[in-house]
């Protein structure tokens, strides 16, 4: 009997939790997968431990090596400096940043196409940017 009650309580809890997730996800604007990247937002920290700073620097260099000379604007937001302006909150609402840095790829309407976080490689960034080009080539 105890197992049945435990199972019933867990079922109700999980059902309620999943309903809340579905509603919140539906409110976040998402760009279609074939939409071109119109803006990139790089969310990081100015002050952090050495390992986090290394991740931030390596990801920033990877982004710059891909974006350098392109027409795509890049906005850099510092979590610990710009928190009064709540600038990072807008992007965190689109996709939660767990491991800085976060790189948000947005379409021309400001909808999220993809978010990468942690130590991001040139290949990962390139894959996001090439998605549209592959589809256009068909």
Asked if the bond preceding 105 is cis, omega within 30° of 0, the reply is no
Model pLDDT for residues 62-85, shown as the tens digit of each residue: 999 998 878 899 999 998 886 666
Q: What is the pTM of this model?
A: 0.71
Residue 23's pLDDT is what? 34
Residue 24's pLDDT is what? 36
Q: Where are the domains of the chain?
A: 1-29, 39-137
Query: Mean pLDDT of residues grouped by 10 in the chain (138 residues)?
Result: 44 41 39 71 95 97 90 92 78 94 95 96 93 54
CATH of 39-137, one of 2.40.128.20, 3.90.79.10, 3.40.30.10, 1.10.10.10: 3.40.30.10
Q: For the purposes of burial, counting CB atoms within 10 Å of the CB of 6, is it exposed (0-12), middle (13-18) or buried (19 or more)?
A: exposed
Continuous H helices in the chain: 2-27, 50-67, 87-94, 122-137
Residue 32's pLDDT is what? 44
Residue 57's pLDDT is what? 97
List CB contacts of 91: < 8 A, sequence separation 6 or more: 41, 43, 77, 97, 102, 104, 115
């Amino acid at each position: 009997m105890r197992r049945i009650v435990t199972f019933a309580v867990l079922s109700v809890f999980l059902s309620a939790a999943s309903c809340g997730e579905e509603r919140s996800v539906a409110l976040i604007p998402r760009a279609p997968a074939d939409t071109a990247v119109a803006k990139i937002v790089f969310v990081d920290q100015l002050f952090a431990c050495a390992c986090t700073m290394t991740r931030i620097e390596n990801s920033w260099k990877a982004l710059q090596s891909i974006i350098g000379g392109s027409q795509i604007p890049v906005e850099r937001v510092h979590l610990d400096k710009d928190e009064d302006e709540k600038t990072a909150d807008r992007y965190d609402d689109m996709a939660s940043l767990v491991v800085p840095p976060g790189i948000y790829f947005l379409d021309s309407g400001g909808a999220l196409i993809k978010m990468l976080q942690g130590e991001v490689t040139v290949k990962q960034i390139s894959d996001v940017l090439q998605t549209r080009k592959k589809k256009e080539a068909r």
